Amino acid sequence: MIRTIQDIAKQTAYETGREELSQRVLDTMAKIPRHEFVPDSQKPCAYDNRPLSIGHGQTISQPYIVALMTDLLDLELTDIVLEIGTGSGYQAAILSKLVKQVYTIEIIEALGKEAQPRFQILDYQNIEVKIGDGYLGWQEHAPYDAIIVTAAGMDIPPPLVSQLKNGGRLIIPVGERFQVQSLMLIEKNLEGQLQSRKVLPVAFVPLTRGRETLNDQI
């Protein structure tokens, strides 16, 4: 899987600007048991480089996209990261081995409640899960060194931009479902000014809205 990821990175370097992805990120992914984050019916395909269904109309992203998004955040061990869209927990598990603390929000209650015990069983101790509308972020623990959104928004949520630390990075797919979406990297400099760029065309499930509060902490 790791060799495949690096091969794709070389093929897409003209768009992403990264001919090779961080070995630190790839070494971490190699240690995460991806098969533990997919349904039993998908386990034979767990390490294929493609998205897989995890139920509830949601997917676990293909390994290359997970690696690219993680790499683009330029994470440090001291970082505090916010993830929007816990899903099965695979992305959060990877982040947990690269940073100090991961806060992750999932709007689909069943997925959030399945992810939390999975983290405990697999001994990912620095992940905290909350059920709620990720568009609103998680103000309690802001500002964040990095924010990653694993579903496509129609825009870049202003609450997430405001909760991003000066000097931080936000990665998010933007666009409508069934249309061309763009993976966007937003950087906030030390003066709080924003710079954004399109990284790559992608296809993500839409960012679900509907929960007005973030009171349901698991």
Residue-wise pLDDT tens digits, 175-203: 987 788 999 999 999 999 999 999 999 99
pLDDT at 59: 95
What is 94-162 written as a DSSP string?
HHHTTSSEEEEEESSHHHHHHHHHHHHHTT-TTEEEEES-GGG--GGG--EEEEEE-SBBSS--HHHHH
Catalytic residue among 41, 53, 61, 196: 61
pLDDT at 212: 43
The ranges assigned to domains in the chain are 2-217
CA distance 104 to 156: 18
**Is 61 a catalytic site residue?**
yes
For the stretch 28-74, pLDDT in tens is 999 999 999 999 999 999 999 999 999 999 999 999 999 999 999 99
In this structure, what are the phi and psi dihedrals at residue 45, rounded to the nearest 5 degrees? -105, 5
Contact 206, 59 (CB under 8 A): no
pLDDT at 179: 81
Q: Is the CATH code 3.30.70.520 the one for domain 2-217? A: no
Check whether 211 has a pLDDT greater than 80: no
The pLDDT-based confidence of 213 (bands split at 50, 70, 90) is very low
Mode of pairing for the β-strands spanning 144-149 and 164-174: parallel
Six token digits for residue 155:
């825009």
For the stretch 12-31, pLDDT in tens is 999 998 899 999 999 999 99
> Per-residue b/e over 91-107, b at no fewer than 16 CB within 10 Å?
bbbbbbbbbebbbbbbb
